[in-house]
Amino acid sequence: MSRFTLPRDIHYGKGTLDVLKTLKGKKAIVVVGGGSMKRFGFLDKAVNNLKEAGMEVRLFENVEPDPSVETVMKGAAAMREFEPDWIIAMGGGSPIDAAKAMWVFYEYPNTTFEEIIQPFSFPELRQKAKFLAIPSTSGTATEVTAFSVITDYAKGIKYPLADFNITPDVAIVDPDLAETMPAKLTAHTGMDALTHAIEAYVSTLHTCFTDPLALQAIGMVFGYLQASYTGDKGAREQMHYAQCLAGMAFSNALLGIVHSMAHKTGAAFKNGHIVHGCANAMYLPKVIQFNAKNPEAAERYAQIATYVGLKGANTQELVKALCDKISDFNKSLNIPSCIKDYEGGMVPEEEFKAKLHDIAALAISDACTGSNPRIPTQEEMEKLLTCCYFDQEVDF
């Protein structure tokens, strides 16, 4: 038995923020991040649209990047006090992820993070409110996914929440909001989207429902990300849709070890974070080489290569052509080829080697590893991460 879940409505296109004018309800709480939505006037526009729809509106502002348990609990308390029948989450991945978790604790005040950490174990939502998400970056696709990541800073734990209950009811994918992204963020979030689509396509949980979405997203990222990076507005619009299609695929097919490795290397080093999308971009060609030792996975990568018009006499050549294409793509987006070169040597070799064993163990136990087409041993994961550090060929 399988399930394929998406939002009830996905409104897309320039100016679709105006759909808020037609929303039916009494009270809406708008959850936003640090201020870019306000600065560019989108927050005011959203609030005015909701008022035009006859709703009483309250704001919950300043959700931080990598939102905390405390922020979630504060937001849930604000919701319990205001009693909205719509939760409107707007901005990058963080405010939308935070609002998803607030929703759970708004509807079930007595539940705990420990109780919902088990994937697909949430209580039945939509008893008090429905959820509408409006993304301003083109990458995480949290507006259409069943996932949210919340950080417990006191315990030093990231809670990856997963349940179709938190798949939003409505997504508004308006490219006007993504036009404000800086170039570097465009590159990183775009490569995150490409990784979502490729990992979903080769996932052990991929289906005939998720495959077309993944392939279409891959084709669009290869077609539009470079122009979007250099500021082409039409390409930026297409990337906003491509990342959403990738999200529809991976929310239902799940991901793989590129994400496991990005999650566990992200905050592991003392001089700073390795940005999620950039980590994915660096690890993706290496993981393809590793997974392609599984013949079924190799066949799937070859299908992707053929779909995007790459040439090769056999499966092996097609897989290599795909890896080369991703590496060239990274170069054109000014993404380094390995951890060693990240941010001018931010991660020293000694620190990497000292932490390698633990990072590899954590990556193997990451929630994304289970659906990867080849499950690495501890030794293999250490070797794979080492190849990602030095930009070495993966031949095991």
Residues that bind Fe ion (CB under 5 A): 192
Strand 27-31 to strand 86-91: parallel, antiparallel, or no bridges (unpaired)? parallel
Q: Shortest approach of Fe ion to residue 255 CB, angstroms?
A: 7
Q: Please identify the residue of the shown chain whose CB is closest to the bound Fe ion.
A: 192
CB 372 within 8 A of CB 335: no
Q: Shortest approach of Fe ion to residue 246 CB, angstroms?
A: 9
Q: 192 or 366, CB closer to Fe ion?
A: 192
Q: Shortest approach of Fe ion to residue 217 CB, angstroms?
A: 13
Q: What is the dihedral of CA 21, 24, 26, 27, to 10 degrees?
A: -60
Q: 163 or 192, CB closer to Fe ion?
A: 192
Tokens of 205: 């949980």
Q: 19 or 257, CB closer to Fe ion?
A: 257
Residue 282's CB is within 10 A of a number of other CB atoms, namely 28
Q: Shortest approach of Fe ion to residue 360 CB, angstroms?
A: 20
Secondary structure in 3-state letters for 47-116: HHHHHHCCCEEEEECCCCCCCEHHHHHHHHHHHHHHCCCEEEEEECHHHHHHHHHHHHHHHCCCCCHHHH
Return the percent helix, strand and coil in the chain, to nearest 5.
55, 10, 35
Q: 17 or 101, CB closer to Fe ion?
A: 101
Q: Shortest approach of Fe ion to residue 258 CB, angstroms?
A: 9
**Helix/strand/coil for 149:** strand
Place of tokens 């979007």: 228
Q: 173 or 198, CB closer to Fe ion?
A: 198
Q: 192 or 237, CB closer to Fe ion?
A: 192
Give the closest residue to 325 by CA, choosing from 288, 274, 279. 288
Q: 84 or 256, CB closer to Fe ion?
A: 256
Q: What is the spatial distance between Cα 379 and Cα 220, in angstroms, rounded to a whole number?
A: 36
CB 307 within 8 A of CB 219: yes
Q: Shortest approach of Fe ion to residue 277 CB, angstroms?
A: 7
| 151 beta partners | 68, 158
Q: Shortest approach of Fe ion to residue 128 CB, angstroms?
A: 30
Q: Shortest approach of Fe ion to residue 110 CB, angstroms?
A: 32
Q: 191 or 305, CB closer to Fe ion?
A: 191
Taken in order 178, 182, 187, 193, the sign of the CA dihedral is: negative
